[in-house]
Every structure is written in C-alpha cells, then in structure tokens.
Structure 1
Amino acid sequence: MMRTRPRGSLSFAGALLTALTALTVLALISGCGDRSGASRPMTGPAHSSSSSSSASPAALVSPSPPLTAAQPTGALRNPPEVVSKNGFLNTRIVVERKRVELAGKKLWALTYNGQYMPPTLRIRPGDRLKLAMVNKIDQMTNLHVHGLHVSPSDHSDNIFLMIEPGETYHYSYQFPPNLAAGTYWYHPHPHTLSAPQTAGGMSGIIVVEGLKQYLPKPLRNITERVVALKDFQRVGDQIKTADLSIGAPTTRVVNGQLNPAIHIRPGETQLWRIANIGANIFYKVALPGYKLRVIARDGNPVNRIYSVDTIIIPAAARYDVLVQGGPPGTAELKTLPYNTGSAGNQFPEVTLATVVSRGEAMTPAKLPTTFAPARDLSKAKITARRTIKYTENAAGTEFYINGKQFDPNRIDFTGHLNTVQEWTVLNNSDEVHSFHVHTNDFQLMSTNGRPQTFYGYQDTVDVPPRGNIVVRTAFENYTGKTVLHCHILNHEDKGMMSVLELVDGPPAPGTGKDPAAPKVEKD
C-alpha cells in the first residue's frame, strides 16, 4: 500500500523520531554497509547534510585523492535520451544504489536507472509528463524538476511529499504552452537528504525544446552537446555521501567522463548546454582562445546574445552557449581557481575536457545579436517588497533565513498571483551563498547596489559575502506551497530554506504589503 506522505504533515517530534529510528539501522543498506546519508534532525552537529560518520565505514577512512587525466579519455558522449512524442512523455526512474563504471573505476553510487549519468528528458512546451519513481534505497526521497514553471502541488513538482523505501510514486506534470525553452535538470529534494543524494549521483538533465527557433535558419541543425558538470568525493570504492565537506578535494566529470574530448571543426558553430548539476561546488568555466556566447540562462532564452571569457556557475545554474571552432589544435575547457570567501572553500583549477578542433574548416556563421523576447520587470508595478537575510553560526554548521531554520509547517512568505514583488537578499556571512526559488523565475535587478543588465530571467544566482542582491519576480499560473533557498545543498539541508505560499487574489488593499509575510527590517 502506498504510504507516501506530504512532508508538511510531519510534526517536528515525528521527524525527530523518524530520524533517530533511521540512525539505528544505518548498517543495513543492501549488501554494501554504507547508509549514504540518513535523515536526522535539521540542527545536527556536522557541517554536512548527511548522516554522522558512525553511519558509514567509508566515512571513517581517509578520502581517496581526486581522479585526473592529463590526456582525453575518449570522446564526449551525450547522455541517453527519453523524448516526448505527440505531446506526451511516459517514463520511469528507479532509484537504487549500484556499482557503476566511472572515471576508470568501479564505484558504488546512488543512481537513477542504474546510471551515474541518467537519461536526459526531452520535452516541449505544453507537454504532459508522467513519471513513475521507484525507490529502491533505504531512505526516503522525492523528485524536483529544477527550474521548470509547473505546479508545486499534488502530484507535480511537490517537494513536500516523500517516497518511502520500497514505494513507487506516480508524478504527473502538465507544462504550460509558454514554457521557456532551454536546459533544466532533475534531482532529489528531501530535506536533510538533498545534498547526500545529489552528491551520491542522483541528478540528470531536462531539455525543453525550442531554443534553436531563435537562431538563423542555417544554425537550426547545429550539433548540440550536453556538458553536465558533476563531481564526487571518493572513499575507496564508494562515492562519499556522509559528512560532506564543500571544499574537500573532488573529482570533476563531464557527463560522467573524466577529461573527455569535445570535437569541433574549425569555424563550426555548436550549442553546448553547460549545467552544474552537483550538490555544492562552484565552477568558473573558461575555454582559453574561445568566446562563450550565451543564448540562455537557467532555462530562459536571453533577449540579446552576449559573449564572455568565463562563466561562474554555482550549483544548479545552467548556461546554454554557442561555441565556434578555432584553428586546428586543442584547447582545455577549464574551471579556474575560485574562492567563495570561506577559508575551506577554495576550488583549484581543473581541466574539465579537451576541445579538439580538426577536420574540414567551415566559414564561421554570423551570429545574431538580438535573440528571444523577454518581459522586463524594471518598470513593473511592485505590490510588495521583502527582505531575505542569510546568516549562519560561527561554526558554519547551522544556516538561517531571517533568523529561522526551515520548517515545512510554517509559511514564511506569500506571493499573490498576477503580481510582482521585489526581494532584497542580504548575505550577512563571509562566504558566497546562492539564491534559488521554485515555480517562478526572477529578474536580477542589482548586485551590491550596481544595476544589472537585463538579458532575461534566472532561477539561481550568487549573493556575495557581506553583500546583497535585488530581484523581482512575477507570480503566474500556479498556487500552492513552494520554497526558496540557498542552492548550496549542504546549506539548504542545514536550515537555509523558507516556505513560499502562492495564493490567488490580490494583497490587502491600500498597504502595498502582504500581512502574511514576516516583517523584517534591513540592517
């Protein structure tokens, strides 16, 4: 019998009892002895979002060094695909712990359909998606379709429900006909378990078709590559999920491959879907000698194509870029050194892939400057302004929004359909946090008081240490409970998440304020 329950139906005491019970059976995972991240109270003592070190024999062993490859290990392969037909996609995802071939090693991982790089789901605006999720691991899980504008309630993108071990849950999504074309992804979102499950391997790509329609006709059949950035910390023959440390040495792979070769002809134009679908870490992506021409961010086509040398990509962010082949030879796609401000979170330079330009040269296509239409909220009527304050304790083990840790039974913010709100996100800490909201994307207005050029919407953006961002968001189409949070999943699992309730009807007349929202003063 199905016992899947809404997360919001659990009392804190019930959640605590569930967590303590889980801790007593950590050693029972199917034949492998590693309980990769059992549920526990949200205020646990470790700077991680997973089980205590006693839960896993692997956690007691020194981490293995990252895997590297000075030369390409093979050609980049796009993940397998499951494609909608006639407006409908019916598929199945099995969650299980399996041994996979990864970066030249056989490692125990948390997988979707037995794969570290699971199928890409390709849909079109207006499609229906039915997805059966089969939970074969010994902890609860669920599914979040990250960035997609779809209902947060019932059997759709509802992160408050939990799928218990041994159960199957049937998700059903109806996407709107104006769903933005671009790159999205899917991953687990059970509170306190999001980081260990995602870090363990549970993440994949979603593509909403239609991005190429904005390109000139000669470019609508260009080669398209998924460049999915994932990383894993390794202990022996296991991917580490317990006691995750954000700044620990980690192996970075592209589509599950270690330093693959990306082939391109001189002058050829390709579309690369670059997506950070890991749990915690940052990428500062660069391809020396090449320009990255951005055509979409976080599943939103830009209104104007712009060129950059580097892209900082926090966990969960995506960039669709055009790349034109250089002269014959090789170039390294790298992540450059990056420091989040925290002493322990300094990321070194790593080669992600090797770009090989060879073959018959092509005349480089002339790329457009304007791209897709986008509604600019800079002159929109603002019905309410909110302040969202990020803080953490001195040890970096507890994280807060407006002085509170996540409680699924508490409504922290309210948004009214067909209105626009402006949010100021303050980062009162010494490290970078990110800001992500479900259901409706936002427009970044300013960072540390500096106005930002409008290119389109985003769903994940960095908030600088001791700094702030201002965003505007329009609430459209859907009501229900959803969330906003830091998408460094260690931080989310340790409390840095709030409940946003989307409701019908206008806010209280004459005040411009929502009486249901907390009153928070700026510093």
Structure 2
Amino acid sequence: MSKVARLLVALALAMTWLSGCDAAQSERTGADVSPAGEHTRGADLQNPPEVVSRNGVLRTTLVVERRKVWVGDRKLWALTYNGRYMPPTLRVRPGDRIELAMVNRVGKKWQGVTPDTNLHTHGLHVSPRPPADDIFLSIKPNTTYNYAYQLPRDITPGTYWYHSHIDMYSAPQVAGGESGLIIVDGLRTYLPPSLRDITERVVALKDNQIQGDEIHVYPLKIQPPTNRTVNGQQNPVIRIRPGETQLWRLANIGANIYYKLHLKGTTFHVIAQDGYPVHRIYSTDTLIIPAAARYDVLVQGGEAGTAQLETQPFYTGPAGNSFPQVNLATVATGGSPVARAALPSLFGPLDDLTHARIADRKTMVYTEQQNPDKYYINGKYYDPNRIDFVSRLNTVEEWTVTNDTQEDHSFHVHTNQFQVMSLNGKPVDPAYAWHETVNILRGQKLVLRIRFKDFTGRTVLHCHLLNHEDMGMMSVLDIVDGGTGPGKGDEK
C-alpha cells in the first residue's frame, strides 16, 4: 500500500471514530468500500443535486435502472433514479408545471420483484388522473411514460417526495432506492427578512438492508438491522456556526421504518409538516417521523463542539417492531459565532375546518392477521378494481380511523391533505394540525377532516409502512364531481 493510500485509510478510520459510528454500522459485507471523498463516513453532508423549474416549467427525465452505485460508503447493487441512490431533488414553485419522462430500464425481475414501475408524487395536491399522479398505471421495461403535473397556484410550500407505487411491490422498490425529494418553494416568504437567506440543508433519511453486494429488497422484513443513511451518505458531518439559524428539511423517504430524531442540546422549531406550513411554530427536542412523513424545522447552533443527530430506540408494539438507537450524523458547531436570531411565533396562514359543514362521515378500521401476514381496512384486502369509498368534490368530510391492532400503523391519503381533529380523543391544535401522513398508535383512534377540492378521479388511502400496504392495507377512493362543478382533474 502506498503512503498516500495509507494516509487516506487512516483519515477514514479517524473520521469513523469521530463520527461515533457503532460496531453494527462498521461491519463490512463484501461490498466495495470508498477510500475517500463524499462517500467516506464523516464527510460533510451534501445536498442532493437539484433540477429546478424555469419560467414556470420543470422538464426532466428519470431513468429507473438497477445499477451498482455508492450507498453510504460502499458500492451496492440498487434500484436507482438517474444512476444515483440519492437522486435529484425536483424544485418547483406554486403554479408550475412538471413535465417528467420516466424511462424504465430495469429490464427483468430482481430478487423476485417485478421490473414494472411507476411514480407517485407523494403529498402533492395534483390530479390523480393520467398523465399526472395515477398510481394504477404500470410502466413496462424498456418503455417511457410522459408524466405531466399542473401545480395549483395555492399549493402549500414545503417538502414532498417521489417514489414507486407499483401494486404489491412498492416496499421492495422503495427499499431498493426508488425515492427522492420534491421541494415546493415559498416557506421563506413567511420568515422575517433577516432569516430569508439562511442556509438550507436537506436531511433525507433512507435505509437499506444489505445482502452481499446488493440491497436486499425481497422478501422484505421490517425488523432486521437496517443501514441508515442521510442524503445517501454514511454518518456525514453537518456544520453550523454558534448561534446560526439553519433550515433543515427532515424527510423519511424509506419504505418501513420509524425515526425518533434527537440532537442533544438542540431544539427543533417546526415550521411545516408534510408540505403544509404551520400557523404557529412549535418547538420540541424529539421528533417521531414515521415512514413518508416530513418536517421542515429551524435549528440554531449552540456552543462549539460536536453532537450526534440520532434516532432513539422506538417500539411499535407487541405485534410490531423494536428499532434501536443509531447515530445518523455528527453535527459540528464551530467557526465565528453569530448573534442568535429571535424566531417568530406565528408562521403560515391559519386554515381550520373546525366549523366546516360536514357532508359525510366515513369510518376505517385497521386489522391484521399473522402467519401469513395480511392487513385489512374494514375487513377488506386491497383490490385495485374495487372502489371502497366515494367522496364528492367541493365538500368536507370527517373520517375516523381506528387502529385495532397490536402495533403502530400510519395513515396516508393521496391528492388532498387533511386536518387532524383529535388523536385518541385528545383535540389537536389547528395551528399545527395539517398532515397527509400521520402515525396511529396501537389501539388508538384518529379523527380527521378532509376537504376535496380541485381534482376528481380514483386514488388511494393506506398505511404507509409499505410492507403493510403491499400486504393489503390500502383502499380505493373515488372523488367524483357530484353536480358541484367540474374539478381541474375533469378538464380536457
């Protein structure tokens, strides 16, 4: 080994020690290991590359293929977008149009998983009809599908994401790497002028299970040890100056696991949830982020030093899973101190359905069986050809979702966000009650109100632990005109 190579290895080992990686994270599985550069443990956090809209249009191509790429600090066979495990972020503004050509080059089954794919723009308020967010279509190998999404001018700013939503195989495809971020700009307009140019960091949480020199995707279990990455990097360093305010976009874009985020000595000041600005900023030192959820937060640098951004142990119940503590990134506070800014208390506009006229009430009950694992909504296993619920455009409905199982589940609905009215009988403050993915503890009840506007068409609601979705816990919702006037989804 040359002197240069020995030096690089020594540096890599030193950075691994400094970043606090535990023994389980340090295991090698026969995959290629990066000697230096952005793939090294402890390298500075890098935002993913961006594709940005111009003159109201974002045009891009996403190529889906199986490739051997850098995943953290090792090379693994993965399912990639544009040759990357952490693909480009799509950055748009309200009112923009997205024109996206999806090219399927997967070719053949991998670990028993279909090569067919599609794309879901998770959380975006766009039409569920083709060629927009139609999750029922299937893009065959060696074909291209041209998606087109028209964003409403009043779409809420924040962090969204995109991923495969192919029937019965969304979990393995997302676990294999098919996920990336979407950012709708506009959050900064709610900040005081002194904070509108602060540093912005993407903190995209992706996990994988490793088998030899590839990501294991099928059959996929939730419990086995997972390798957790941030922006596709292994335990990177996030730098901040003492007193500095930064905007972090925290996004769980994996298939199944939970994060219980904590950063010792730091408070997360939440300004948006699931792409919806809060009316009143709230502060917490711990954030539970189920699969698919996002939080946009302000963080402020403390005293000089280092601390671990970690996910703390999290238990989802006797029929569920127990997730261990894992260090995700090292936050290094240093450099010239800056005066700590006073953060506003109010943020986005208040949108409250408390006094809305309720056109209908619906009930959904989660149940499950084991050996073999099957998951149900109202006793029904998912069938894409069956319509389970019908809702009418330009109305508000109240839904009650009961988790009648011995493990936590999440609830996600496509096309429209919802206001959480209560969780297990406890009212939720409307100042920060809007979501489109929310966790429901075992044995508990979620009451929400949802306003159907702009778009008609078939869509779905489901648990966003994708293993559970693939094993039946999903229902079809048909949003119809109902004589109240055409929605944007009806325009020809």
Fold-level similarity (TM above 0.5): yes
Alignment-mate amino acid for residue 423 of structure 1: W
Aligned to 2:444: 467
Aligned to 1:178: 154
Do structure 1's residue 76 and structure 2's residue 45 form an aligned pair?
yes
CA distance in 2, matches of 1:85, 1:501: 34
Instruction: Tell me the SS of whatever aligns to 1:377.
Output: coil
Instruction: Tell me the SS of whatever aligns to 2:469.
Output: helix
1:66 is displaced (CA, Å) by 5.0
Do structure 1's residue 488 and structure 2's residue 465 form an aligned pair?
yes
CA contact (8 A) 1:125 1:176 kept: yes
1:456 is displaced (CA, Å) by 4.1
Q: 2:416 aligns with which of 437, 440, 459?
A: 440
Q: 2:174 aligns with which of 174, 198, 201?
A: 198
Q: 2:397 aligns with which of 408, 414, 421?
A: 421
CA distance in 2, matches of 1:129, 1:393: 41
Q: 2:84 aligns with which of 115, 118, 140?
A: 115
CA contact (8 A) 2:320 2:408 kept: no
Q: 1:359 aligns with which of 332, 335, 339?
A: 335
CA contact (8 A) 1:96 1:110 kept: yes
* Post-superposition CA distance 1:417-450 (Å, at most 9, x none): 1111011001111000000000001011111111
CA distance in 2, matches of 1:460, 1:205: 16
Give percent identity, aligned residues only. 60
**Count of aligned positions:** 442
Q: CA RMSD in A?
A: 1.3
Instruction: Tell me the SS of whatever aligns to 2:468.
Output: helix
Alignment-mate amino acid for residue 96 of structure 1: E
Q: 1:89 aligns with which of 58, 66, 70?
A: 58
Aligned to 2:481: 504
CA distance in 2, matches of 1:304, 1:68: 41
1:382 is displaced (CA, Å) by 0.8
CA distance change for structure 1 residues 253 and 68 in 2, over 3 Å: closer, same or farther?
A: farther
Aligned to 1:39: none
1:165 is displaced (CA, Å) by 1.0
* Post-superposition CA distance 1:366-396 (Å, at most 9, x none): 1000001031011111111110010111336
CA contact (8 A) 1:66 1:250 kept: no
Instruction: Tell me the SS of whatever aligns to 2:354.
Output: helix
CA distance in 1, matches of 2:329, 2:272: 22
Q: 1:271 aligns with which of 222, 228, 247?
A: 247
Aligned to 2:94: 125
Matches within 5 A, 1:512-523: none
Alignment-mate amino acid for residue 265 of structure 1: R
* Post-superposition CA distance 1:460-481 (Å, at most 9, x none): 0011111111010000000000
Do structure 1's residue 162 and structure 2's residue 131 form an aligned pair?
no
CA distance in 1, matches of 2:150, 2:72: 37
1:102 is displaced (CA, Å) by 2.0
Q: 2:279 aligns with which of 265, 280, 303?
A: 303
Instruction: Tell me the SS of whatever aligns to 1:176.
Output: coil
1:72 is displaced (CA, Å) by 5.3
CA distance in 1, matches of 2:408, 2:317: 6
Instruction: Tell me the SS of whatever aligns to 1:233.
Output: strand
1:208 is displaced (CA, Å) by 0.2
Instruction: Tell me the SS of whatever aligns to 1:491.
Output: helix
Aligned to 1:67: 25
CA contact (8 A) 2:320 2:407 kept: no
CA distance in 2, matches of 1:170, 1:327: 50
Q: 2:75 aligns with which of 106, 110, 133?
A: 106
Instruction: Tell me the SS of whatever aligns to 1:67.
Output: helix
Do structure 1's residue 339 and structure 2's residue 339 form an aligned pair?
no
Matches within 5 A, 1:316-465: 316-342=292-318, 345-395=321-371, 397-454=373-430, 455-465=432-442
CA distance in 1, matches of 2:151, 2:119: 16
CA distance change for structure 1 residues 115 and 72 in 2, over 3 Å: closer, same or farther?
A: closer
Instruction: Give the TM-score taking structure 2 as reference length.
Output: 0.88
CA distance in 2, matches of 1:357, 1:142: 41
* Post-superposition CA distance 1:250-274 (Å, at most 9, x none): 0000001111000000000000000
Matches within 5 A, 1:230-249: 230-249=206-225
Unaligned 5+ segments in structure 1 are: 1-64, 508-523
1:150 is displaced (CA, Å) by 0.3
1:452 is displaced (CA, Å) by 1.2
CA contact (8 A) 2:320 2:406 kept: no
CA distance in 1, matches of 2:129, 2:347: 33
Instruction: Tell me the SS of whatever aligns to 1:212.
Output: helix
* Post-superposition CA distance 1:95-118 (Å, at most 9, x none): 000001222211000000010000
CA contact (8 A) 2:461 2:475 kept: yes
* Post-superposition CA distance 1:39-67 (Å, at most 9, x none): xxxxxxxxxxxxxxxxxxxxxxxxxx953
Aligned to 2:12: none
Unaligned 5+ segments in structure 2 are: 1-22, 28-39, 109-114, 485-492
Do structure 1's residue 136 and structure 2's residue 136 form an aligned pair?
no
Q: Which moved more, 1:156-165 or 1:450-459?
A: 450-459
